[in-house]
Every structure is written in structure tokens, then in C-alpha cells.
A and B are shown apart, each in its own frame.
Chain A
């Protein structure tokens, strides 16, 4: 126990706070039934009741418990944001490092493709993909991943370009290592800390994009709760129940803020320089302000 505490004490503060903010949501996302006081889909009481001892956040427009719905919504939102950030990170990093390290025509080709994908505004491309491929959850995950992937590729390409000229890469190449070996054992491990900083920014954007899609009615479908579609209902009854939207809004903000803090913590932990942090912010800027 003391060792655990000592380990925590050595971590940068933002990393600790960010993890502490995110962890409860991850646990709730895995086992919402253990925490939620009521069934999120059953009609428990009168509609639009204010907060009370039984229903801590009140009830929604048909009388379901808002707190339980908020907690169950974590399952959808955390899953979609984490898996799309993971896909975007893996594909984007793979493409970017490969292009940056290989250089030449491959690099030009990959980066032009990235330019083309970047030209589509985030939400617009995601909406288009949902029109074409349907409203299933996996389409959402892939659509969000695809709109974030190009910024990640561009960012990791820069890292690949830098590492290409490092001494240990040269040494590995001279001793006859294959391109794949160099990428896998030298370029990837050495760029991972930097890339993780960008990945946490990506995860933060993924939360916002996924919440936006369900807010627009194109994400999780009712009656399944998601923070986005709860906020949508909150708008409809803003005069009758102004407090309705506070819970889901706070949840989205905490989760997306937690990722940003984790990113900042990782940056301090690995002492990446400020230019890297700027690059990570550029990832955010190119995803767009939501």
C-alpha cells in the first residue's frame, strides 16, 4: 500500500487528477448495474420531478431516473470514445510513422491522402459516413476514428521524420535490421511518449464528437441513454426542468477534461518539450472546435 502511494506521489499532479476523474466513469461503464440505484429504462415515477432523496438528479420527461440514465450512458460514451480514439491512434500512428520514416514517394502519397481527408470538416464527414453506412455503433466508432485519424497521422509523421536521422536508427540500419524491425523496435518505442500525449487529446475530442453525434440524434438511439441524447431531451423541457441537463453535461465535461489532464500529465512525466505540446494542440485544432 505504501509503495502504491509512493508511486502515485511521484506522478505529475495532472496525471493523478485526470486518472482520478476518469477511473470512476470507466468502472461505471463496465458495471453500471452495481452503481445505478434504478433501472435506466423503467418508468419509476412522475415525469420531470426535481432532485429528491430517491431520485438524486430528478426524473426525465417520462419519469425515468436521471442519475441511473447518466450512469448507464457512460457505457455507450466511454466505449465509443475510447475505441474510436484507439483505432484512430493505431491507424494514424502506423501510417504517419511509416510515411515519415520511409520518406520519398510513399511519404508524399500518404500525406496527400491525409490532406484530402483533413479537408472534410469533422462533423460533416462523420455525418456523411453515417448516412452512407447506417446508424450502428460500429459505424459511429469508425466514422469518429476516420475523422481523427489524419491529424494523428500528420503529427506522428513529424516524429518519424525526426527519429529517422537519430544515431541508433542509423546503427540498427547499418547492422542489417529490416525496415519493419527498425520501425517496430526503435522508432515506435522512442516516439510512444510523444504520441501518447497526442492520443489523449484525441480521446478528449472523441468524447465531444460522440456526444455531438448523439445530440444530433445520430448516435445512440433512444431509449438507450447517452449523454448527448439526454442533453437533447433537456433542451425540450428547459422551461419546465432547467436542472435536467446539468448531470449529463457535467459528465461529458469531466470525461473530456480528464483526458486533457492525462495528456498534460504525460507530457510532464516524459518531459516532452513544448513544441510537442503545441503539435498536440494542433491535432485538437484540426479536429475542430465543438
Chain B
């Protein structure tokens, strides 16, 4: 038990070290931006008069310690970031407020897509595993392979062509908040969520499928069959849990790096979330916002990877003994 605790403590230490390194690298890139540090960190602030701007710039430079050495600037930056202060946007708004406004839409899209892809991949891989028809299995395998090599924004375009332009069931882009009616919200959600979920589903399927076929030949399966268990019980109670375990790591990787997919899908469907905000900020050179999103998403990845690792140890007793 003590060994386990020590293992977890060591992992936590590593987690912290990676987090510090990630944030320092983000800060270095922010600092490497062309132009003076004050310009890069404060921005043109078009809504202020020249006098106000000069005054604001001076006071912010003072606060950020821009005349101090780099490591000291980093300490100030990360301390502010930890208390939720990422500075001002291009327009002079609080970065954290702008990000907070976008979080709801992003979480709605992200959660829906993950639920759809996890549940969908389970159903599809069980279908492929248990079906008697080779054509079904081959069809599923072919389709998932194509889904993995086609770019998400093209998949989105095909969905828009069919469901918005030809049949006209769904709006081609946009977002209706949940407060303005569940039906309208779901209508706008369907295509972005599918565009995000289908390639993930294909990836999970590939792992689950490999896992199912590896496990199907294991001795304990033969033993269960010899004991007279039904094929159904074997598939659901013995093969599936063992096959699903390695897939958890992949799901974790995908959840942690979901923002990559969100960037594309949100730009495709004008979904007002973090991904679209990132692209817009990149284009308008809104450096503080970009740095804040980079830091937040990288930290999310590190934490998710850690949680998945812990979860894996909890679920698979074999990995526990090694620590």
C-alpha cells in the first residue's frame, strides 16, 4: 500500500514538473513574438485614446515587470495566470472573461462527441465481432478506415451538402444556446458533433476491434466456453472488459487533445467555442488570448493523461504490482 502511495506521489511530482515546463515554453514563445515585449503582450487597444493607451501601456508594463529579467517575468506571468488573470485582449477586454464566455459551447460539443464516439464504437465493434456476415465486418472496417484518412472538414462539408443544402433538415452553421430552446440547440449541435465524433469513433473502433480479436483467443475464453457459458455471456462479460481496457488509454489521448479537432469543427460550423476563439485570435494576433488557450489546453492534456494513467492502474490489477 505504501508502495502504491509512493508511486502516486512520484507521478504527481512528474506531473508538476511537466506542467511547469509546458507553461515556461508557452511563455518563451509568447516572449519570442516579433515587436517589443510591451506591444506583443499588451496589443494595440484600438478602443482607447492615444493618451489613455500610453498610460495603460506604462502601467501594465510595470505590472508585468517587462523591465525585469526573463525568469522573473515568467514568475509574474504564471502567478497571474494561476489566479485567472491572462491580461487583456486586443480589444482591451479581460482574456479570462472572453474565454469563460466560450467555455459552455465548447464543453457541450466536446461532451456530446465523446459520448457518441465511445458508445458508437462499442456498438459498432460488438456488431463487427459478433456478426455472422463477412460483408458487414468488411463494410465496417472499410468505412472506418476511410473516416480516419479523410480530413474532418471535408466530412463536415459532405454532411452540410446532404443535410443542409440538399435535404434542408439542419442549418448549415451557427449556434443556438440551450436557453433559446432545446430543439433549436440540438438542431445546430447534430452536424458539428457528428463531424467531431465519427473520426474518433473510427479510431476507437480500430483499437477495440484489435483488442476483441486478441482476447477472443485467450485461454480464459476457452475455459468459459468449456464451462458451458453462452457465446453472448462470454462476449459481454469476459471478452469485452478485457478488450476495452487498452482502449481507455486511446480515449484519454483523444479527450486530452480534443481541442485540435474542436479548432477545425468549430471553424467549419461557426460554433462559438474555444477552438474558433483560438483561430480568430491567431488571425488578429491577439497574443494573450492565444497564449492563454495554449496554456489551458496543454495543462488539460497533462492532467487528463495523468488521470487516465491512474484510472488504468485502478482497473487493471496487473499494472499495480509493478510500482
Which of A's residues lie within 8 Å of B, judged by CB? 112, 115-116, 119-125, 127-132, 134, 204, 208, 211-212, 215-218, 228, 231, 234-235, 238-239, 242, 245, 248-249, 252-253, 256-257, 260, 274, 278, 281, 284-286, 288-290
Considering the complex, give the chain A residue whose CB is closest to the CB of B263.
A123
List of B residues within 8 angstroms of A281 by Cβ: 206-207
Which 8 A-B pairs rank lowest in CB-CB distance, beginning with the nearest?
A249-B154, A257-B149, A123-B260, A288-B260, A253-B150, A121-B257, A288-B257, A116-B21
Interface residues of B in 47-81 (CB under 8 A from A): none
Among B32, B145, B254, B302, which residue has its beta carbon within 8 angstroms of that of A119? B302
Q: Is the interface of A mostly helix, strand, loop or mixed?
A: helix
Q: Do the beta carbons of B160 and A215 come within 8 Å of each other?
A: no
Q: Do the beta carbons of B157 and A234 come within 8 Å of each other?
A: yes
Among A116, A239, A290, which residue has its beta carbon within 8 angstroms of that of B152? A290
List of A residues within 8 angstroms of B158 by Cβ: 245, 249
Q: Do the beta carbons of B161 and A124 come within 8 Å of each other?
A: no
Q: Do the beta carbons of A238 and B301 come within 8 Å of each other?
A: no
Q: Do the beta carbons of A131 and B282 come within 8 Å of each other?
A: yes
Q: Do the beta carbons of B153 and A231 come within 8 Å of each other?
A: yes
11 further A-B contacts with Cβ under 8 Å, apart from A238-B165, A245-B158, A257-B145, are A115-B18, A119-B298, A120-B294, A123-B260, A124-B263, A216-B264, A231-B154, A234-B157, A239-B172, A256-B149, A257-B149
Q: A132-B33, A216-B263 are in contact. Are A289 and B157 (CB under 8 A)?
A: no
Q: Do the beta carbons of A288 and B261 come within 8 Å of each other?
A: yes
Q: A127-B290, A238-B172, A252-B151 are in contact. Are A120 and B22 (CB under 8 A)?
A: yes
List of B residues within 8 angstroms of A285 by Cβ: 203, 250, 253-254
Q: Do the beta carbons of A121 and B151 come within 8 Å of each other?
A: no
Does B188 make an interface contact (CB < 8 A)?
A: no
List of A residues within 8 angstroms of B235 by Cβ: none
Q: Mark B289-307, 1 if CB is under 8 A from A, else 0.
A: 0110110011101100100
Among A218, A274, A290, which residue has its beta carbon within 8 angstroms of that of B199? A290
| 27 cross-chain CB contacts under 8 A | A119-B298, A120-B25, A120-B294, A124-B294, A127-B290, A131-B33, A131-B285, A132-B33, A134-B34, A211-B151, A212-B153, A216-B263, A216-B279, A217-B283, A234-B157, A235-B268, A238-B160, A242-B165, A253-B150, A253-B151, A253-B154, A278-B210, A286-B257, A288-B257, A288-B261, A290-B151, A290-B264
Q: Do the beta carbons of B29 and A242 come within 8 Å of each other?
A: no
Q: A127-B263, A257-B146 are in contact. Are A238 and B161 (CB under 8 A)?
A: yes
Does B200 make an interface contact (CB < 8 A)?
A: yes
Among B149, B256, B285, which residue has its beta carbon within 8 angstroms of that of A204? B149
Does B166 make an interface contact (CB < 8 A)?
A: yes
Does B109 make an interface contact (CB < 8 A)?
A: no
B301 to chain A, nearest CB (A): 5
Does B164 make an interface contact (CB < 8 A)?
A: yes
Q: A238-B161, A281-B206 are in contact. Are A124 and B260 (CB under 8 A)?
A: yes
Q: A112-B21, A116-B25 are in contact. Are A289 and B151 (CB under 8 A)?
A: no
Q: Mark B151-177, 1 if CB is under 8 A from A, else 0.
A: 111100110110011100000100000
List of A residues within 8 angstroms of B200 by Cβ: 289
Q: Mark B35-48, 1 if CB is under 8 A from A, else 0.
A: 00000000000000
A254 to chain B, nearest CB (A): 9
Please, how many angstroms separate the alpha-carbon atoms of A83 and B80 in the complex?
40
A122 to chain B, nearest CB (A): 5
List of B residues within 8 angstroms of A284 by Cβ: 148, 203
List of B residues within 8 angstroms of A115 by Cβ: 18
